[in-house]
Structure formats: C-alpha cells, structure tokens
Structure 1
Amino acid sequence: MSTRHLDSLFSPRSVAVIGASDRPHSVGNTVWSNLQASYRGELHAVNIDPMALGGQPVFPDLQALAAQCGKGPELAVICTPAAAVPGLIAELGTLGTRAAVVISAGLTPAQKQAMLEAARPYTLRILGPNSIGLLVPHLGLNASFAPANAAPGQLAFVSQSGSLMSGMLDWANSRGIGFSHFLSLGEQADVDFGDVLDFLASDPRTRAILLYIESIESARKFMSAARAAARNKPVIVIKAGQSVLGQQAAASHTGAMAGSDAVFDAAISRAGMLRVHTLLQLFSSAELLARFRDNRSEKLIVLTNGGGAGVIAADAAANAGIELAELEPGLVEQLDALLPANWSHGNPVDIVGDAPPQRYLEALQLLLKQRDSAVLLVQAPTAIVSSTEIAQAVLPLASQRPSRVLASWLGSGMVSEARRLCRGAGIPDYNTPEEAVRAFSFLRQYQRHQAELMEMPNADPLGSQPDLTRMRELVEFVLADGREVLSEPESKELLRLAGVPVTPTRVVPPEPEAAVYAAETVGYPVVIKILSPDIVHKSDVGGVRLNLHGASEVMAAAEAMLQRVAERQPGARIEGFTVQPMVQPLHSHELIVGASVDPQFGPVILFGAGGVSVEVVADRALALPPLNTSLARSLIGRTRIAKLLQGYREVPAADHDAIVHVLLAVSQLLADIPEIAELDINPLMVNHEGALALDARVRLSRAKPAGASNFAIRAYPRHLIETQPWDQGTLVTLRPIRPEDELRHLDFFHRLDPEDVRMRMFSARRSLEHSELARLTQIDYEREMAFLATITNADGVEETIGSVRGISDPNNEEAEFAVIVRSDMKGKHLGWILMDKLIRYLRANGTQRVVGTILRENSGMLDLARSLGFEIKRHPEDPDLRWAELPLQTGQAQA
C-alpha cells in the first residue's frame, strides 16, 4: 500500500485539464468549468484543437505547457479518448507530474496495463480510469464532471460508483452536508480503497470516512488500511451486492452457507468499522458517530411530550435490540415531585403534551443523572408552546460534553428552527424516533467493534501444538491418491492431529458382518455410517444409524443402509462402513465449526448451531482468521445458540474454553495446511465437560487456497521466532509480540527504572492504560513489527526482558525504531541483539531505511546506534534530540 504522491492528488498547486473543451455538456467542458469556477491554484487547459476557454490560453500539447510554465502540472485531469491515455501518462511523468485523474473510460486491459507501466518509473499516481473525478472543497478543487460542487465539511466520501457519487452529491447539498474529500475511484487501476484510507486516516480535516464499496480487489491491503483508519476515526461502509447466491455445489455445509456478503460483514466487524445498508443510514450514523463517539451508554431513556411518540420510540428500540433503561427508584421519586400526576411513571418518560420549556429542562436535568443511559428527546409541536422555545431552553444542558442527548423534532415547518438550533449546538437530530433509535443502535454496534479491537485475549490458549509433520503426510497421501475429499476417518484424523478432540472410528468393508465385528470391538451402543467418496451428506441418503445396542440391530441397520443407498444414489461407490461409539453426553448441544475460502477475503471460519437441520436453522456467524481467544468468544456470542450455551434451568453452562480451543485449532489448521478448501465439524458435541467432534468432512485443493499467506489479515509470523545462547549460557527467545502478551508487557513496563522510561518515551510515566497496551501488543504484522526478548525464569514462567519495535510508513520506505531493555538486564548486549533482529527483518521486508529519535543525553543508545552503523545527526526540529538513520537496501535509490 502507498500514500506516495497522494498529496499531489488531493492538494495540488497546479492542475491541467487534458482534453478541455468548449463544447457544451461534454466531459472536457464540464471538468474545465468546474475547476475554473472555484479552484484557487494554477489552472491550465490542453487540447490539440485551437479554441478559447473564457479568455484562458489553451496549450496544443503538454510540451507547450511546460515550455510556457517551466514545468509540468502537479495534477493532470485526462478527458481524452482511451487510446491516448498511456502516452499522456508517460509524457506527464517526464515532466514531473505526480498524479493524474483519468476520467477517460473504455480502456482495454492492454491499454490499462500500458498506462500503469508508463506511470511506474515516476511513481505517478492514477485515480481511475473511468472515474468521475474528485472534489476537495476547502481548496475549491472540483476536478470532476459532477453536476454540482460540494460544500466544505469534515466527512470524506469515497465511492466505487460514479453514478452514485453524482446522486449523493446532490442529495448531500440539499441537506447542507459538507465534505473534506469527495471522490470516485473508478476502476482502481492504481489508487484504491487502501491507499485512500491510509491518507484520510491522518488527514486533520476529516472527522469520519464514508465508503461505498462494490468489491475489494486486495483484501489484505484493504483490511490493513481499514484497521489502522478505524482506530483513528469512524469508518462507515455501505456495500452493494448483498443478495449473492450461495455456492450450491459446495461439498460442505460451511461452503454452502458462507456467502460472500456475510464474509464482508465479518471483515467489517474485524476491522472495527461500521456497516449500514442505506444512504440515509450512512449520513445519520456518520453524524451520530462524529458527535457521539465518546458516548458509552448502552441503554436509552426516551423523554417526550406524547404517549404515541414514546410508544413508537420504544417499538423502534425493541426492533433494534436497544434496551430502554429502567428508571432508578430515587429518580422516579424526583420526577413525581416535578411532573403532573398523569406522567407515564416509566420509560418512555411522557411529561404530558402541555409541557412548558422549563419542565423539559428540569426533567432532562434529572434524567441525565442516570449515568448509564443516553437520552432521546422526542417533541411533537403543540399550539401551547413553540418547539423553538423548548430547544432554546434545553440546548445549553443538552450540548454539554460528553454528549448524551439526541433529538427528534416531529413535523416539518413548525420544528424547522428547533432543528436548526439543535444541529448548530452539535446535537444529533433526526426526523423520526425510528431514525434516532436506529442511529443509536449503529453507535452501539460501532462501539462493540471498537472494543473487540482492544480486547485482551488469554495467554497461551492452545496448550498443545499441532503435529504438522503428520498432518502434511496425510494431506500429501490423499492428493497423491488422486483425491481431494478426505474420508470421514481421514478428516477426523487430520483434526485430531490439529488438536481437536474426535471420536474413535473404525473402518470396515461394506459387509454387515464386518460392521457387527467392529461394533463388538468398540462396545455398544454404536453409530454406523456409510463410507463413500460420492456421498456428500450421508443423512440425505439414509447413510447414518444411531444408538444401535446389539449385533442384530447393527446387522439389520447395515443391510437396510446398503439397500437405501443403492436406491437413492445408485451410482455411488461404497467403500465400507465406519463404526464408532455412540456418544450421548448429558446436557449436550450440537454445534457446527467450519471453514471455507471466500474469493475476496480468503479463508473464513464459521460457527453456529449444528446437526442435520443446520441449513434450515441457519444460526451461524463468520469470522476471518487468525483468531485469538477474544475473537473466538466474540464469534460464539454472535449466534442465537450462545444464550443456550450459557446454561438454563437444570442445564449447566457449556465449556466455552473447549469451544474456543476448537476454533483456535481450526484457525491454526487453516494457516498450516494451505490445501484446505472446505472443512466441516458437524456435529461438534459440547456440554459442561468439554467438546467432541462426532463427524467431519474436509475437502482439499491443489491450488492451495488457504494458508497464512492467503489470510486477509496477516497471521502471527511464527517463522520469525528464534532462540539463541545469551548471558552465561541462558537461552533467550526473540519472537514477534502477540495480543496475549498484554499482562506480561505491563509487568515488563513496571520493572523499568523511571529514568529508562524517560529516555525511551521522552517523559516520566509509571503507568500504561489498557488502550495503550492493546495498541502495543495487538499490532498489524503487515505494517508494523515488534520483537520481544524473553527468558524462562526458575519457576518455568516466561518473562519479557526487552522489546524492539519498527513502524513502517505505508510506502515501506522508512521504519522508525524504538528499543528498550529491562533495567536489571542492561549491559548484557541485549539491546544490540534486539536491534540486529529488527534490522534483519526490515531489510528482508524491503524497507529502505530505519530511523529513530534519541535524546541527546542518552549516550548508551547513541553508542549502540553507532555500533550498528547508524549515522547520527542533530535533529532538525529540536536541539535536545538526535536523529539516527541507517540505509538498509545498499545500492538502491533512496526516496
């Protein structure tokens, strides 16, 4: 990903329109007119045909423009026929142009590739082709053929659809909504969602980012940029194409159910973004998140002057899953003393239709004392008192921070001034109670996604390591046998090697007598199943019999099974029977755990209610790997069966740790075995004593669609772990940091001397908040790396004794380092070992240089940097600091 030269795209000092035209209603004319009307920088027109454009000279070609101006434009807007685009890009690059908006449509794949190759030597960035263009209102930059300009504001809107962009702009202007940036990506040949998210994440004028998405080309790039941006500001997404047909030919339940739109939902959740489904929701949620983002209220209190309005709000809350707060007893007493006797005496709080402004104010003062709740003020206009007076009375209180009040003024003309006052005071306002409640539900959903980004997983969750050698042998045996679908025994063996508890299974020939012999060996009661590579779901053809208690039952069941299969699927190859003990754990639940590969986001994990009715019940949730304990628990919690798993009546709570263990094992299996295409564990029987896989199915693919390299989120890089002898023969382990290291990292921080902390952080600190620790330990390995040095103490516990971190810019040109060693471990060469580990990693990762800022008096760190080859210079901005820089790619051009 790269933000290189995007400043030339979004804040150019000069712009040239290539293909500017005097022909009314043409693209070239519209783009030129839009720019000429408002752009405050240098503006030039280029067209091979002589013409006059409002008295502005029109250059016949780019060379003439450069000869006149002494250089090429910083930004070019190309409105020419498609065939001319590659040549123009090459010429612009030689003239020093750093960005281009390609409005031109209809480029062939060959022309598009030629355009990109022409841009590459100059790192010239391209928006488009087939883009409507972009608008940056605070600069007056309207480099588009949109039908109107955009008002300045703090929302950025990025659209994959040009037609939607035009309609959205008209809609937003009619409602007074302004933008920091407004752009159409077009075909995303170069600049894509990931690039723009990286740029906007650090843009001070952008308060929230709105995305209209039709498809994602590079899932890992998008997810990495989205996760980074969502930590800084709200990112709200609307996506087209929600009704994608399922994969009808899938070989597993998971493959049939994991539609791409559901996967997209899982990706949005994992990135900490918010998904909405209508354009109105897009802007209403943006307004609420921008003004209400710090609000942590889970419940809602409705304050209204009408019973009907209160009922509507309550119904909307129930439909949206928002809980109306129960009023505290002391609060009810205070409201009794304030309000007429016929007030509602509950939530919604109906203060009666004749309520004057003072009653609203005093009631709001009391309700805001209930700290766990936000207040929705719903006011219906009356002839007794004006809505404007009510707004004027409550706004000083309602606008206090942090925000806890949102409003809905019912009506139109009679409440228009109240709405205007409300919005001017920074209070979210909605036309109806339903809209307000829906927006509040989006806020809650957004806060949950953000909380998941910061949750601390348990340490060392798996407890046992998978047997990777034997798993590979099994996979290679199946593929060498010319098969892709593992038999049930093979599938269960693969899962067992991965760490999933499975039932023991015996395989016998397709003879009833053999099934009886196996049952006698296993012990009654037993389950017998047909074994056939041609039967996907055994229950569909009568290929499963449960709870058989004796030889006669097994014999009869096996004979009947062969007959049913022959009738229902006569062409199926029958390899035999599988026989296993009938497991009937007390208080058990049937679950499904599965995996498939999405064409956009790669491997995905499914969890939900299992059994033979799994498709009918359709209670499932999806998540992107890699999982940790927190993410696994969140996945479980998004299903309806999660409530049953908590226990009810005489049924004890299920062993959630056992379910988490299975989910983590499947996540790791997807990383370790790239050949996996689909996987089902159904049913996974779970009760208070543990989990056990009763049936399983795995399909492989020689194309290797799984594997850590195909994850949309980079998995933990285990290959970077190394152990080496250190001080007096002690073994020190150097490994990438993990989310599970949070408590260990906090202990490490507490064992640092205050002076060491000051040298490292440039300030005296003795504590770290959970949010800070989460950002330190839950890193995106795609763009950041932190290595820990750990040892095992006398009690067998791992301790962190040093840490080094390198944070790369989006272009991977420069990484800034930070290193610190536990104070009692200084003077033992550990800082050098950590820095050497980081430098080796960054060099192999293609980073151009590593840099750092060091306090002038930190002589130990300065000496260490010099010993590693860093050049030390005075910091250009602060005489008390020194700047350390080390080139990593010898012989390559430096940026």
Structure 2
Amino acid sequence: MSVRNLKQLFAPKSVALVGASERPGSVGATMLRNLREGGFKGQLYPVNPKYETLDGLEVWPDVARLPAAPDLAIICTPPSTIPGIVRSLGELGTRAAIVMSAGVSTARDLRGRSIKQAMLDAANPYLLRILGPNSSGLLAPGIGLNASIAMGGAAAGRIAFVSESGALMAGVLDWARTRNVGFSTILALGESSDVDFGDVLDYLASDPGTSAILVHAESVRYARKFMSAARAAARSKPTLMLKAGRSLEAATAGACLSGVLARPDDVYDAAIRRAGMLRVYTTDQLFAAVETLARAKPLFGERLALLGNGAGPVVLASDALQYGGGHQAELAPETVSRLRDLVPEWSGTGELNLRGDAPPERYRDVIDVLLHDPQANAVVMIHAPNAVVDPADVARAVAPLAKASSRNVLACWLGLQSVGEARTIAYEAGMPAYRTPEAAVNGFLQIVNFRRNQQLLMEVPASVGDGEPDRERARALVRAALERGRRTGRYLLDDPDTKAILDAYGIPTVPTRAAATPDEAVAMAADIGYPVAVKILSPDVVQKSDVGGVSLDLDTPDAVRAATERMARRLAELKPDARLDGFIVQAMARNPEAHELIAGAATDPVFGPVILFGQGGLAVEAVNDHAVALPPLNTVLARDLIARTRVARQLAGYRNHPAANLDAIAAVLVQVARLIAEVPEIVELDINPLLADANGAVVLDARMRIAMADRAGNALDRLAIRPYPVELEDVVPWQGGTILLRPIRPEDGAAHVAFFNALTPDDVRYRMFVRVRELQPAQLARFTQIDYDREMAFIATRTGPDGHPETLAVARVVADPDNMSAEFAVTVRSDLKGKGLGVMLMNKLIAYCRARGTREIVGEALPQNAPVIGLVKKLGFTVGPVDEDEGVRKFWLELR
C-alpha cells in the first residue's frame, strides 16, 4: 500500500474528532481547540457519548451515528477502543485516520492479542490509511487544518516537513513562526504502523502545492520502498534529510573489515546521496538549505568569488569555503585588471575588500565584472553595516544584477535590525540572504552538494567492458563452500577460495594456490613460478603478519620450505590453540608504485548489502579513509565512490608517481557490486589489498563470509535498489536472424541518442506530443536510468554495422506507487516499422505487468498516430474517442 487514500489524509473536506473533550489539558480538548482556531472550513464532527454539544458544535455519541462518512478521523481514545472505532469508520466509508493515542503498540486485549495488529486488521478490508499511532498529528495550513497537538498553527507555504518526532515538529513550528516560514504540510509520523516515509514522499512528490520536502528521520524500516520514493521525490523537487541518532549508532560487528568499517551512519549517508537528496546536520541547516535551494539558479561550476566591505568577514568566508571542500575562483587577468581600476587599494590577489566606505555603485560595478568572469560560477557578497553607507541602498544597487544574471549571487547582511530592509530587498529579487559569512558560504556549498547528488541521477555511464560473469561457476563454488561449512562449522572462506569466486566475475587476482604441507607448497611455487609469497592458512588468524605468517620474495624451493616450517613453529608458539590448515602460495606482486586499497562488501541491517572502498593495507582501521555506496554500481557511481575518499588524491598522481588506472578500479567495484547482488549467500567480502597502478588493478588478498540465503522470498529483495533484471532478457528470432529483448540500462545512453536521431520528426511528435530536435541530458538520463522496482523499459537491440549495439525499438511502462495502473509508451525506429517489433515488445511488456500484479495498462496517443492505435487494438486494448480537452485518444487494457 502506498498513496491510496492519502488525499483524504492530507486534504480532507470533513473531519471527525473521536474522543473530543472539554477537559483542560486533554488531547481531545487540545485537538478540538486547534481544529477550531486553525480556520478549517470543512465539516467538523466531534464524537463522544459524554457530551451533546462542545464549543457550539453538535456532538455525536459514536462513529456509527455520524450523518456522513468523514474524509478524515482523528482518534484520541484509549488503545482498547481503537480497533472497533477503526472498523466502524471503515464500514461508514472513511478512508484515513490519525491515531494520536500512545501505548497502542504495547497494549493487549483480554485474550492477549496485539491491539496494534487488531487496528491494522480492522483497517485493511477498507484500505483505510492510518497515521500513527502515537502521532502528534498533521497540519495543512493551505486549507486551515490544524489536526495536531502543537501549540499554535503554521503559515501557509510550499515547504513540506515530515518528522518522526512530535517534539521536533512542535519545535520547528515555533522556529518557523519567528522566521515567517510557511508550509504546505507538516506532520509527525509517530510509529508508522501504516503510513511511513515512503508513502508520504510518494504523495508529496506529485503534490502541486509542495515545492520542497524536508525529512527528519531517526530510522528507516523499508529500505527498498524508501529509496524508490526518495529518488522519485528528489527528481521532481528539492528533498532534504536530517538524519538523527548518529551518535547512537555503533559499528557493525563483522568477521571481515568491511563489516566493521561500514558504520550505519555511513550507509545512511550513501543512501541519501544515491537518492539525489541533500543531507543536512542541524535544523538551522535544514531550513537554510530550503531557502537557498528554493532561490538558487542552476549551477554550472563550483568556483566561488568572494567580496565584502571589510577584510575580516571575507577571510572568514574564505576559511569556510576551504574547510568545506569548496574552491575559490581564480580570476582571469582581464577581470583582475578591471577590478583594480574599480578598487585601486586592492593588490590583485587575496581578499577582495571594497572598504567600509564603498558606495553602492562600487558593489554593483564589481559584482557585474565578477559575473562576467569565466572562472567565477557564483558570487558571495558580504556587507557589514556602518554609518557611511545605507545597506538598503547597496541592496537596491545589486538586486537588479542578481535578478538578471544566470549565475547565483548570495548576500550576507551582517547584523539584524540595521540590515532588515536590505535583506527584504534581496529576498524580493530572489537573492538568498544570510546573517553570517560562514552561512552564506555554506549556502553555496549546499547548492554544490545538491548539484552533485542530482548529477548522479542524470549522468549516463560508460560500459564497464565486454563479457558476462560466469554466474553459475561462482554459485557452484559458494554452494560447495556452504556444504563444507555445514560439516565444519566454518563459513569464512580463505584467500584461494575467495579468489576463485572473484575470478568467475572477471575480477583480476594474483595467481594463488592452497597447499596442505611444506612439500605441496614447494610444488605449488614451482607451478606458479618464482618468486612467490607464502602465508599461513588458519581460520583462527585474522591478521597473518601478527604471528609472522607472511614471507615475501621467496625465489627457491629451499626458501619456500624453510619459510613454511618457520611459520608453523611461530604459530604454535604464539597461538597454540590456532588451527593450521596449510599455506597459501601466490605469485609475488612487485610494484613499489602500486597503491594499497580496500574494496569490499558488508550487510547493513536496514539497507542490505553495501559496497566499501578506501585506503587499504595493514593500517586500514587506523587510517579510517573509506566511503560506502549502495549496489548496484555503474562506472559513474563507482567513480563517485572513489572520489569520496582521501586516497583519491593520491590515485590522481603526484610528483613522479603516475595516476592510477581509475577505470580499472571502477571496473572492480562494479563487478564486486554485481557479485554481491547476484550471489545472496555472500554476507561480507574483503579485498585488502587491492593493488592499483597505472596499468590496472589486481587483488592481492581476499576473504569472504557466507551464509545460507533466505529462500522465503526473492533474493533481490534484500537490496535497497533493485539491480538490472538479467532474468528478463530474451533472444528471439527476427527477420532471418536474432535480436535481444531486454530491459534498458544506463549504459544504453549512446545507442538511445542514435535511436532518437533515427526517428522522423512526426514520430518524435507522436512520442513526445511536441516537436523535439534533440534529447537533453536530463531527458536521456531519465529514459535510461530507471527504477526497476517501479518502471520498466524493454528495448529490442542487436549489434550494428559498426560493431556497437543499436536500439531498434523501445516499450516503456511506469506504474503508480500502488501498482494499480501503469502507463505505457512504445516507439519503433522509423525505418523498421511494420516488421513486428512493436507487437513483440508490447507482448513482453503486458506479460511483465501481469506477472507483477498490475491491474491495468493505460496509454494515450494523438488521433493521427494510426500505427500505435492499430497496434493496441490488435493487442486487445479498449480505445476511447478523442478527448476534446486534451486532443488525444486514450486506451486501456484490464489485466485481472
């Protein structure tokens, strides 16, 4: 269940208050007062058998006797009464309720049954949606609805605030009133027994009255649902998240380092980033970011120019920019020359100080020059009030420039009372305005970070290379290891076994063998070729070097035999209880310029498998340089994961050290993510070190922990983001040869552009309903980077004459969050019409929707698009007449 009946919750036309009261301090009395004072114009039905009237309103003795079904019911009665009230509301026709009552989750009836579950069971037959229990309520200021226990109401606006905490909701309301911040919706989820973050985000994403969404969360329960909803919301409007409880989250216990390093807060950070949202860390940052993003213009670079009427504030801004990871603009020589004419006292380098007596015209002229410099992507202007210049005059001089420019101009008006008028003028011109230099710079950095996260949703990645992994070999190796584990109780795979599985996925590894005895180690070394490295093989030793269990650069049989014997003695002395299974022999990797990295995977209790990357080696925990990402990955996401580590600077090259092959590192990360997604028995994986240099990347040491996968459902359900569904690929005969019908991938970007360019102008108009000359990057990303959990696009593809894949036709379907109705579109390359491609793809699309339980497929076309109208008729669709208002013909196919 998702957005079903949520309109009655967010925009009711009538409200019943069950448990209305006049007792001072009671929830029922507070709710009645807030509903009355909020100015709600709809019908209000108080319900309580103890009263006949309350505050001049007729009171009804129970729900069953209400004269009409209210859109929304607010319940503030004892827990034991709630299931019965919900059932009566459902029978009456009510489809949304807010349960304010606390203690519902722990309460039991006389037979020991859960009151909470009884409440949900009572609501389910009627699809009655429940906010709560233990919710502090909801406000919709646009319709005068204050269905909350918060003190005071809220101003109407276009910001939605969603919180788990009623206390924070009340605090934010008080904060917002002092700053004249308005809301479209503000609500506290309470215990989210039914309506949760995913539901609310889905509703708000398509709400025309909401232009920005703020989320405060302490935890997320349904990761897949949350990620799909958050990605959809972030694509349509700025969506920001304040994640609480960071200090309460401990590192995950794990047999591998990746399980220890991937802290819960790192995973949440990765999820927020992957969804295209912006993370903030304080309530002030939350609303400051909304103010910034609501007024910000598109940012086409990340270099900031700074100026002010005093050196001190500009230096503070410069420090904030540097320590925030930003970049100050390096002005062009022509710009410097023009600025020195305007500000003779300026040396041409360092802080651009206009001096305290700078007239408004100097601000205007300097900013005009900066806005034309190719290196300055945005400008922060700082003004400290004084008795010489009126701040309002400065604002009037600068505002027209800021309004007309395509670049962002952010203003810091230091102080409060004396700069109030200047701040108002800036607001009216669309200039974000701040009280401190640091806040202004942080506002710019928020635009930068939001832009980066949005770009991850829009970029089209390159292909990771040819060849498919040998999935069956990897799965067979894991099954064999599980069988051994059942006998031995050991599910931590050693280096050779792990590398065999990595090899099946095309991940380069150093040749490695396992030997049971010193003699076998000598034989293995001869087989691999000298020199070799030898290490102990023991399930009871995590760091082999701690017990002298590593010997390098062994180049003779005698050296190998002596090393193995020495290791065995050393292990017996230092860890007499440790088991010695034998020795690992591997080719010696000699490359003093190689970087030691760590790549791996862990399993988060909320978001499932996660991928980890960072600086590796023996000191990996002490260095603490790593980043986390959610699978699946592509080259763009893998590159972003690499870039979020400090070691990325070294990988880019320095002094006489050439840059590492980032493509090779990214390819390893992509394949690791693929392996984790496709082999659910892998719980943890460490590749440490992954050696990387200019020539490529190779696995030196690796281990993994496995466990029986949950076979109760789809193994892919454990992933927060559904990966590419390879199982939906079909090779089919066509025109004397074969073509591949498969889901679209982000890597299909180039082929999709070529496909679009091969369409005639009329075919483009039939598909887009308007004339479009070329696909914009955002459109291309939207077509190729899809959420496989909610939408699907099948393409017909084959290898073209140039040896590259070519797209022949596309059929696309997007389901609503409830999977009730799915809208489709189909396009065949203009020169290939009438050859059966449309029928094949539509049949595949219909079968896919039917298998997912979708109830109907709908579509529309221009009346002159005869080929598509004929196609859907042939497939059994009902085709309606021309809609005179929209100028289209609509058609639908019932699948039940």
TM range (shorter): over 0.9
CA distance in 2, matches of 1:545, 1:248: 32
- 2:110 aligned residue: none
Answer yes or no: is the 8 Å Cα contact 1:303–1:377 preserved in 2.
Answer: yes
Identity of aligned residues (%): 52
Cα offset for 1:756?
2.1
- 1:893 aligned residue: none
Q: Secondary structure in 2 aligned to 1:158? A: strand
Matched, 1:177 2:174: no
- 1:124 aligned residue: 128
Q: How does 1:290-439 map to 2 (within 5 A)?
A: 290-339=294-343, 341-343=344-346, 345-371=348-374, 372-402=376-406, 404-439=408-443
Provide closer, same or farther for how the CA distance between residues 29 and 540 of structure 1 changes in structure 2, counting only shifts above 3 A.
farther
Q: How does 1:724-803 map to 2 (within 5 A)?
A: 724-727=732-735, 729-794=736-801, 796-803=803-810
Answer yes or no: is the 8 Å Cα contact 1:244–1:261 preserved in 2.
Answer: no
Q: How does 1:149-188 map to 2 (within 5 A)?
A: 149-188=153-192
Cα offset for 1:536?
2.5
- 1:661 aligned residue: 667
- 2:650 aligned residue: 644
CA distance in 2, matches of 1:817, 1:361: 52
Cα offset for 1:692?
1.2
Q: Secondary structure in 2 aligned to 1:59? A: coil
Cα offset for 1:206?
1.3
- 1:577 aligned residue: 583
- 2:88 aligned residue: 91
CA distance in 2, matches of 1:486, 1:253: 14
CA distance in 2, matches of 1:28, 1:876: 49
Cα offset for 1:507?
1.8
Cα offset for 1:667?
1.1
**What amino acid sits opposite 1:101 in the alignment?**
I
Matched, 1:869 2:872: no
Matched, 1:23 2:23: yes
Cα offset for 1:467?
1.6
Provide closer, same or farther for how the CA distance between residues 704 and 615 of structure 1 changes in structure 2, counting only shifts above 3 A.
farther
Matched, 1:225 2:229: yes
Provide closer, same or farther for how the CA distance between residues 859 and 391 of structure 1 changes in structure 2, counting only shifts above 3 A.
closer
Q: How does 1:433-512 map to 2 (within 5 A)?
A: 433-459=437-463, 461-481=464-484, 482=486, 483-509=490-516, 511-512=517-518
The one of 726, 733, 746 equivalent to 1:718 is 726
Answer yes or no: is the 8 Å Cα contact 2:371–2:405 preserved in 1.
Answer: no
The one of 620, 627, 637 equivalent to 1:621 is 627
Q: Secondary structure in 2 aligned to 1:507? A: strand
- 2:70 aligned residue: 73
Cα offset for 1:393?
2.6
CA distance in 1, matches of 2:874, 2:244: 55
- 1:709 aligned residue: 717
Q: Secondary structure in 1 aligned to 2:271? A: helix
- Spell out, residue by residue over 1:378-423, the C-alpha distance to the aligned partner (whole angstroms, 9 max, x if none): 1111111222222233222223354511111112222222223322
Q: Secondary structure in 1 aligned to 2:492? A: coil
CA distance in 1, matches of 2:885, 2:547: 77
Cα offset for 1:678?
0.3
Cα offset for 1:13?
0.5
- 1:35 aligned residue: 35
Q: Which moved more, 1:671-680 or 1:372-381?
A: 372-381
Provide closer, same or farther for how the CA distance between residues 875 and 15 of structure 1 changes in structure 2, counting only shifts above 3 A.
farther
The one of 595, 605, 609 equivalent to 1:599 is 605
Matched, 1:635 2:641: yes
- Is there any run of 5+ residues in structure 1 with no aligned partner, and where? 890-895
Answer yes or no: is the 8 Å Cα contact 1:456–1:740 preserved in 2.
Answer: yes
Q: Secondary structure in 1 aligned to 2:584? A: strand
**What amino acid sits opposite 1:614 in the alignment?**
V
Cα offset for 1:243?
2.8
CA distance in 2, matches of 1:334, 1:690: 48
Answer yes or no: is the 8 Å Cα contact 2:336–2:348 preserved in 1.
Answer: yes
Answer yes or no: is the 8 Å Cα contact 1:302–1:347 preserved in 2.
Answer: no
CA distance in 1, matches of 2:522, 2:173: 73
- Spell out, residue by residue over 1:84-113, the C-alpha distance to the aligned partner (whole angstroms, 9 max, x if none): 111111111111111111111111362111
Answer yes or no: is the 8 Å Cα contact 1:154–1:206 preserved in 2.
Answer: yes
Matched, 1:104 2:108: no
Provide closer, same or farther for how the CA distance between residues 493 and 414 of structure 1 changes in structure 2, counting only shifts above 3 A.
same
CA distance in 1, matches of 2:857, 2:638: 36
Answer yes or no: is the 8 Å Cα contact 1:525–1:582 preserved in 2.
Answer: yes
Answer yes or no: is the 8 Å Cα contact 1:244–1:259 preserved in 2.
Answer: no
Cα offset for 1:647?
1.9
Answer yes or no: is the 8 Å Cα contact 1:20–1:47 preserved in 2.
Answer: yes
CA distance in 1, matches of 2:166, 2:434: 28
Provide closer, same or farther for how the CA distance between residues 221 and 324 of structure 1 changes in structure 2, counting only shifts above 3 A.
same
CA distance in 2, matches of 1:496, 1:269: 31
CA distance in 1, matches of 2:253, 2:611: 19
CA distance in 2, matches of 1:793, 1:397: 51
**What amino acid sits opposite 1:426 in the alignment?**
G
- Spell out, residue by residue over 1:441-487, the C-alpha distance to the aligned partner (whole angstroms, 9 max, x if none): 1111110111111111113x242222222222211111112231112
Q: Secondary structure in 1 aligned to 2:54? A: coil
Q: How does 1:260-299 map to 2 (within 5 A)?
A: 260-299=264-303
- 1:529 aligned residue: 535
CA distance in 2, matches of 1:407, 1:801: 52
Answer yes or no: is the 8 Å Cα contact 1:850–1:885 preserved in 2.
Answer: yes
Answer yes or no: is the 8 Å Cα contact 1:22–1:51 preserved in 2.
Answer: no
Provide closer, same or farther for how the CA distance between residues 74 and 694 of structure 1 changes in structure 2, counting only shifts above 3 A.
same
- 2:111 aligned residue: none
Q: How does 1:826-841 map to 2 (within 5 A)?
A: 826-841=833-848
- 1:892 aligned residue: none
Cα offset for 1:795?
5.1
- Count of aligned pairs: 881
**What amino acid sits opposite 2:533 in the alignment?**
V
**What amino acid sits opposite 1:99 in the alignment?**
A
**What amino acid sits opposite 2:823 in the alignment?**
E
**What amino acid sits opposite 1:46 in the alignment?**
V
**What amino acid sits opposite 1:444 in the alignment?**
V
- 2:705 aligned residue: 699
Q: Secondary structure in 1 aligned to 2:493? A: coil
Cα offset for 1:877?
4.7
Cα offset for 1:248?
6.1
Answer yes or no: is the 8 Å Cα contact 1:675–1:707 preserved in 2.
Answer: no
Matched, 1:560 2:563: no
Q: TM-score, normalised by structure 2?
A: 0.96
**What amino acid sits opposite 2:40 in the alignment?**
Y
**What amino acid sits opposite 1:84 in the alignment?**
T
CA distance in 2, matches of 1:448, 1:880: 39
Q: Which moved more, 1:418-427 or 1:181-190?
A: 418-427
Provide closer, same or farther for how the CA distance between residues 197 and 521 of structure 1 changes in structure 2, counting only shifts above 3 A.
same
**What amino acid sits opposite 1:47 in the alignment?**
N
- Spell out, residue by residue over 1:318-360, the C-alpha distance to the aligned partner (whole angstroms, 9 max, x if none): 1111111122221222222222x32353353211111122222
Q: Secondary structure in 1 aligned to 2:762? A: helix
Answer yes or no: is the 8 Å Cα contact 1:301–1:347 preserved in 2.
Answer: no
Answer yes or no: is the 8 Å Cα contact 1:17–1:77 preserved in 2.
Answer: yes
Q: Secondary structure in 1 aligned to 2:697? A: strand
**What amino acid sits opposite 2:478 in the alignment?**
V
Provide closer, same or farther for how the CA distance between residues 403 and 284 of structure 1 changes in structure 2, counting only shifts above 3 A.
farther
- Spell out, residue by residue over 1:762-808, the C-alpha distance to the aligned partner (whole angstroms, 9 max, x if none): 23333111211110011111111110011334554432111111111
Q: Secondary structure in 2 aligned to 1:399? A: helix
Answer yes or no: is the 8 Å Cα contact 1:344–1:350 preserved in 2.
Answer: no
Q: TM-score, normalised by structure 1?
A: 0.96
- 1:251 aligned residue: 255
Answer yes or no: is the 8 Å Cα contact 2:299–2:377 preserved in 1.
Answer: no
CA distance in 2, matches of 1:791, 1:113: 52
